[in-house]
Structure 1
């Protein structure tokens, strides 16, 4: 992608508006795409899907660098199919991402809208989480630019989709670390308290707890007292377990350190606290994230062509769904309670 003076709307030399074009009742000729907020493995696959789907439909794509921060600074340039070659396997986002205080102001959004109009953009695809969707929602409300959101966040906390892009990879990354720490814990007869990401949601924690065979899991959605872990550890020791794994979502009150301190104070046993942190955001996206991102990128382009606006494309029971952007953050998405129960049942 290269930054340039906004060109006049005309067929891109790499576009092929020929066979298999879908109906385009909205008359979309050029769209923009950006990634915003925290990066998530699979964002590049979504960018690729947006660009190549649009190309297949004879629609030009403008890439916005550095999210909304770049939009209000005019960091835009045309993207063609070859510009997104060999990025499907890469973590992070080739368009870069940033958080912008300026975008939170009406003046900042007005600047972004001005640049989109100068580039003759008919619609914007925003790949990100709830904060990004807030920014997209206000852009559309204030300036009438159609916006479609693609859920890109490892937390899996957006209502309206079973899974978000990056979630599967984050779980696999965390689970790999848990497996390694379990080996050390068993060898030294130690207790490991491992904090995974999830500031407001325990989806990663629950999945990792079940797949990693944890003795206990603490999530923001459940207010059980940290003292519960003391009894759990004591029972594990009584059963002859040489080491224990405790999973804590970062959003749980006090985090992993509070849980580790409670165990040490209540049992006197040697405890190690490990915070995995941002390592869960990086790395090569697993197949499930690449497939999900590809489907949602295609669906976002089709949504704009159909005249949809102010919606997030997602999947529910394997089917593409459309949810108003404001609903994605106004309604909460609970963890899988059956899986949460299962984690405790299997810890005996």
Structure 2
């Protein structure tokens, strides 16, 4: 695909940002329609149910992995220069950061992408949590929390060409990636059919996953057509949220895929909620609720930056290219979220059931 006309009209940076905006809008629209959320999927699974929320997440994950691996096998995409597969990978960062992120998304009642989607629908709880998430992510990248992040990330690292790609590290060929991707997708289709997902959920989940595939393809296409270096990447929200936050201070300093992505997701979700008549202002129910959301956002901001990505950035985007640290981070997110749900929410529900609180007599 020749993007010369777009470069002539908008410049390389502008065209790249526009690409991020469009793909972000696709993801935001589809994620809002499907209620795509890793937190909801983990809670459903941890409570012993293979229900619709888990099915939606599996559909998005399955189509992302299958699509990316098919694109690579067909020669339409190369991810050898992707951040997740080059340089040193932090095992400790993936495990510790992933667990922190998983804990945080349960407390904040949504991962980073879900908070952004809900913010566009009028959820003020998610808006505040998302802003705190972005501030903490920026502090973890270049601010006061950066030394702590570096110390934890450096505790256990792995280097070497091929060591960060699970397929290469295990001596498996590219065809294995396609087979595994199709297996994940077939499993997702089975559970989605068993749960009788509505067409809206099917389309939304598959569309959200395909946005990840399109993101990889677009940035790779840009990388060999632009004179300026362009990162080969796709959907992620930890680093991009921090970048958008800094854009407020330096509006013309840097325009890239990430800068267009975050506002694109917000706009796409807003349009979906507008069409579905789901715009609604929602606030906090009390001080305890606010503290919970703030703590969750802080854990996600630091944990996501330490892990190298959020539930989408590491879990789906990194997982789709079989990056070692991404799969470790995703596993840690599941474990951290399930444990937090049990300790914080499920035990509270069990205590309330055992000792019901009766309303005082009028």
TM-score range, shorter chain: under 0.3
Could you tell me the TM-score, scaled by structure 2's length?
A: 0.23
Q: Which has the higher strand share?
A: 1
Could you tell me the TM-score, scaled by structure 1's length?
A: 0.24
| Higher relative contact order structure (alpha carbons within 8 Å, sequence separation ≥ 6) | 2
